[in-house]
A and B are shown apart, each in its own frame.
Chain A
Amino acid sequence: MFNVQFLNGGYMTNILEGAKGSRHLLMGNEAIARGALEAGVSVIAGYPGTPSSEIIETLANVSSQQNLYVEWSVNEKVAMEVAAAGSFAGLRTMAVMKQNGVNVGSDFLLHLALTGTRGGMVLVHCDDPGALSSANEGESRHFARMLEIPLLEPGDFQEAKDMIKWAFKLSEAIHNVVMVRSVTRLSHASGNVIFGALPVKEKKAFFKHDGGLLDPLEGPMSSLPAPVRHGQQQEKLARAMAEFEASGFNTYSGPEPPELLMITSSACNLYCKEAISLLGLEDRVGLLKLGTTWPLPPDLMQTYLKMTDRILIVEEVISFLEDNVKIIAAELASKIGSKIFYGKREGFIPSTNEMNPDLVLAALAKIMEINYEATPPAYARRSQELVVSGAPGRDLTFCAGCPHRASFWTLHNVLQLDGRQGFGCGDIGCYSMAVLPTGFSTLKTLHAMGSGVGLASGFGKLGQFGMDQPVLATVGDSTFFHAVLPALINAVHHQSDITIVVLDNSGTAMTGFQSHPGLPVDAAGNEVPAIDIAAVCQAMGATVRISDPFDIDHTQQTLLELFEIKGLKVLVLKQACALSPQKKGKKMFDVSVDENICLGQNCGCNQLCTRIFKCPGLKWNPEQQVSGIDEVICVGCGVCASICPSGAIQRKEVA
């Protein structure tokens, strides 16, 4: 039912095929998955989030052959807890999430870091510098320093695989969780990777708990007594730091000594190499690529910091490596002398957005006083001139046939009809785009998963201060389980007067149709009990209605009726995502425009279909002044036929 290879453009890679020493082109996330298999991982849990999702998908695909337990957990905190349970029972386990997920799980992670682990446990977190597929570019490296656990960062695709293997070993050596951080440009990029061997796993799960309170291997797993555990935790971190001194993941290339030392980690490693190569600085500039970025190994740092007095630090978003290098340099000042740093604080490297080779080139060229031109000036000028009319911008939009377009069409229209300046509160998912014109700018708040309902719960209590604007909150079906439940209970309990709209499109659509608790299938494709969203809301005491968003009239009527009822209302809008595997390639309707009926600009509708509704499956023909259908893009949902006031857009059910 669910095609777990969806996000990869339909391209299937079998990470089991291939002997030790064979060479494969793998996406970073596939390399991480292969590394976990080579380490003998048994339990893997996570919550979908770009750019991390393919790690779990890849492992779920091979779960039966490799005897893995793989789950899409309800949220990241539970994922960490599920993975920790496996570790406590002696197995190697992995929790996987995007950067925001570490925030969600951090409450448990703080306790876990204090308690420690038994079987190797690795937390893989994929950050998204530049927020290419996120609503923020917050990063999770800082948790490693805050929670005092080791942090590793792969610098290419081979390392993405090998480092995971090593992280499990390290975790078992120090008996604590190890963080491995990837970024979008590694997770979603691909490179050649050489396979290692797959081990034979024979370990039986058993949780030893009858030793003394402080016995780390056979006692109960608890963070108490906290100050004692905290001391043990810091000893573990010191042991990791000692291991890092000799780690092969910290590499140096370049002359000894160099005129300038570049220090970097992660995907920036590849940008730095590119910049050095394009400027021809291989004989003048050295590159220290660090794979063990917290805590930094001081002896190794002393060796390289001593070589030169000019240092450029290259990393993405806010400074982490830079701060840590500067602290070490201050501590070592009597041995290494004073340094001139070029980094974020000095204005050479930006503190927002992702890095790329050009930004590193610019910084390096400036420091080394080299003139670098990416493109001959005449070409650059002409191409910039032509692109203005040559490539109209592409605003993000809901896909053709997306149920969200139909849903927000109705939500927007009902709020307009009501006339009291009502608004929607949103959160993370494809429906976040309803802050934009593609969702008729219906959403006026956009924050973390589930936050729309929490905010609505608060707005709904402002009646005593004179507020009478209707308040809607929109949530996705997966989000409902992830983070909405506590806010929903809060709103019911406090009788907040709001309407929650569940946009149920039958899957975690934005990240590629991963399963969630509302579906009868799990990550590995097994049949599991589904939890009914409407029944849950009803049991809590909410007034619940269900509608098909493609039935515009019924949905509008239902919503208007709900506005008349006091207290907490839930409207479940059920229609599968246009890209869902069960829908893809199947048209419900053949849609066409009768050009004799379409009045174009002479119709009173103000080109409702193409100017306002704006489905990408529609076309506007400026010469003939009529609308049309793009048959390559239209998926045949038929909704545009129900909004056309003149009946020019016609739909015929596909047999």
Chain B
Amino acid sequence: MNHVSLPYDPYNIIITGVGGQGNVMASRVVGNMLSRQGLQVTIGETFGASQRGGSVMSHLRISTGSSWSPQIPKGRCHLVISLEPTEAMRVLASYGNPTVKVLCNTRPVHAIGVISGDQQYPPLEDIKSWVSELSEACWFLEATAKAMELGNPILGNIMMIGAAAGIGVLPLARQDFEAVISEAMPADKLALNLTAYDLGAQMIGDGNKEVG
């Protein structure tokens, strides 16, 4: 069954963002895609307060062996998929290490403290250079902007999954994505989700790569 090889076992992914960005959906889609490859998948999620402006993290453990802790130990993340720029920084501070890879959506979601003027949202260029310094490789994608062109900003999360497939470190296959979406969503949503997935994968090919 486990003919697939992983760069690390368990391979640890954190999908992060802000409540309402579709984080939980993204983690279930990625988890099911990898589970279809015969891999053991464990996902840990923090929600409840997740729709209420807080940071949301999903921890994915991918293994050829068994279930792992639904919480990744500190400093042990291999890939961060961040739906929001400052959330990438927050994850790196706890779970980062010199070999981590980062995929980051560039659309900010302002915290309440930023909206009120009590806190400053850092300039995107600064975030890019910090993430680059704290990672082995990173990619910054305008996923939300592209998703809005498709008519719904939430599709940004699907683009990020396409992009994760595009960097080629994990056995994420388009036909698995198609199968998972077909199972999990009403049939009329498939075409749009596939478009978003393909756009995400293309963004990686479009020279978005920055190596830290």
Interface residues of A (CB under 8 A from B): 7-14, 23-25, 50-51, 132-133, 156-158, 185-186, 188-192, 267, 270-271, 273-274, 278, 356-358, 361, 374-376, 379-380, 382-384, 386-387, 389-399, 430, 433, 438, 510, 579, 607, 610-611, 614, 616, 618-620, 622, 630, 632-633
Which residue of chain A lies nearest to B156 when distances are taken between CB atoms in the complex? Answer: A632
A375/B74 in contact, CB under 8 A: yes
B28/A270 in contact, CB under 8 A: no
Partner of B70, one of A8, A185, A390, A616: A185
Chain A residues with CB below 8 A from B111, complex form = 392-395
A157/B25 in contact, CB under 8 A: no
Chain B residues with CB below 8 A from A384, complex form = 93
Distance from B99 Cβ to chain A, minimum over Cβ atoms (Å): 10
Assembled-state Cα–Cα distance A259/B22 (Å): 46
Could you write out 13 A-B pairs with CB less than 8 Å apart?
A: A9-B23, A11-B24, A190-B42, A192-B41, A274-B68, A375-B96, A383-B134, A390-B89, A391-B89, A393-B119, A630-B110, A633-B20, A633-B109
Partner of A387, one of B51, B92, B113, B116: B92
B130/A390 in contact, CB under 8 A: yes
Chain B residues with CB below 8 A from A24, complex form = 35
B71/A383 in contact, CB under 8 A: no
Assuming the A-B contacts A618-B115, A632-B144, are A273 and B75 also in contact, with contact meaning beta carbons closer than 8 angstroms in the complex?
Answer: no
Which residue of chain B lies nearest to A6 when distances are taken between CB atoms in the complex? Answer: B51
Chain A residues with CB below 8 A from B51, complex form = 399, 579
For the complex with contacts A132-B49, A383-B134, A390-B90, 7 further pairs of A-B residues with Cβ separation under 8 Å are A9-B23, A188-B46, A189-B44, A376-B98, A389-B122, A390-B89, A616-B53
B148 an interface residue at 8 Å Cβ cutoff? yes
B32 an interface residue at 8 Å Cβ cutoff? yes
From A267, A278, A374, A394, residue with most partner B Cβ within 10 Å: A394
B31/A190 in contact, CB under 8 A: yes
Assuming the A-B contacts A383-B93, A619-B115, are A50 and B48 also in contact, with contact meaning beta carbons closer than 8 angstroms in the complex?
Answer: yes
Partner of B22, one of A9, A190, A361, A380: A9
Interchain Cβ contacts within 8 Å, total number: 220
Interface size class of B (residues with CB under 8 A): 35 or more
Assembled-state Cα–Cα distance A228/B54 (Å): 54
Chain B residues with CB below 8 A from A191, complex form = 40-43, 67, 70
Partner of A632, one of B41, B54, B86, B107: B107
Assembled-state Cα–Cα distance A445/B69 (Å): 37
B185 an interface residue at 8 Å Cβ cutoff? yes
B47 an interface residue at 8 Å Cβ cutoff? yes
A9/B97 in contact, CB under 8 A: no
Which residue of chain A lies nearest to B91 when distances are taken between CB atoms in the complex? Answer: A391
From A273, A392, A395, residue with most partner B Cβ within 10 Å: A392
Chain B residues with CB below 8 A from A611, complex form = 116-117
Chain A residues with CB below 8 A from B55, complex form = 394
A270/B70 in contact, CB under 8 A: yes
The 3 closest A-B pairs by CB, nearest first: A133-B48, A9-B24, A375-B75
Distance from A597 Cβ to chain B, minimum over Cβ atoms (Å): 20
Chain B residues with CB below 8 A from A133, complex form = 47-49
Partner of A397, one of B31, B107, B112, B134: B112
Distance from A389 Cβ to chain B, minimum over Cβ atoms (Å): 6
Assembled-state Cα–Cα distance A14/B185 (Å): 11
Distance from A97 Cβ to chain B, minimum over Cβ atoms (Å): 15
Chain A residues with CB below 8 A from B122, complex form = 389-390, 392
B45/A394 in contact, CB under 8 A: no
Which residue of chain B lies nearest to A632 when distances are taken between CB atoms in the complex? Answer: B153
A620/B115 in contact, CB under 8 A: yes
B127 an interface residue at 8 Å Cβ cutoff? yes
Assuming the A-B contacts A188-B47, A361-B73, are A392 and B22 also in contact, with contact meaning beta carbons closer than 8 angstroms in the complex?
Answer: no
Distance from B198 Cβ to chain A, minimum over Cβ atoms (Å): 21
From B29, B53, B119, B122, residue with most partner A Cβ within 10 Å: B53
Chain B residues with CB below 8 A from A356, complex form = 69, 71, 73
Chain B residues with CB below 8 A from A620, complex form = 114-117
B112/A11 in contact, CB under 8 A: no
Assembled-state Cα–Cα distance A395/B110 (Å): 11
B98/A379 in contact, CB under 8 A: yes
Chain A residues with CB below 8 A from B96, complex form = 375, 379, 383
Assembled-state Cα–Cα distance A343/B27 (Å): 35
From A9, A192, A399, A510, residue with most partner B Cβ within 10 Å: A9
Chain B residues with CB below 8 A from A132, complex form = 46, 48-49
Distance from A266 Cβ to chain B, minimum over Cβ atoms (Å): 12
Assuming the A-B contacts A358-B73, A386-B130, are A395 and B24 also in contact, with contact meaning beta carbons closer than 8 angstroms in the complex?
Answer: no
A614/B69 in contact, CB under 8 A: no
B89/A11 in contact, CB under 8 A: no
B11 an interface residue at 8 Å Cβ cutoff? no
Chain B residues with CB below 8 A from A361, complex form = 73
From A23, A393, A438, A607, residue with most partner B Cβ within 10 Å: A393
B93/A391 in contact, CB under 8 A: yes
Chain A residues with CB below 8 A from B87, complex form = 391
Chain B residues with CB below 8 A from A158, complex form = 67
B67/A156 in contact, CB under 8 A: yes
Chain B residues with CB below 8 A from A8, complex form = 24, 28
Considering the complex, which residues of chain B in the window 59-115 have a beta carbon less than 8 Å from any beta carbon of chain A?
A: 67-76, 86-87, 89-90, 92-93, 96-98, 107, 109-115
B41/A25 in contact, CB under 8 A: yes
B183 an interface residue at 8 Å Cβ cutoff? yes
Assuming the A-B contacts A192-B67, A270-B68, A392-B86, are A374 and B112 also in contact, with contact meaning beta carbons closer than 8 angstroms in the complex?
Answer: no
Distance from A430 Cβ to chain B, minimum over Cβ atoms (Å): 7
B133 an interface residue at 8 Å Cβ cutoff? yes
Which residue of chain B lies nearest to A438 when distances are taken between CB atoms in the complex? Answer: B112
Distance from B72 Cβ to chain A, minimum over Cβ atoms (Å): 8
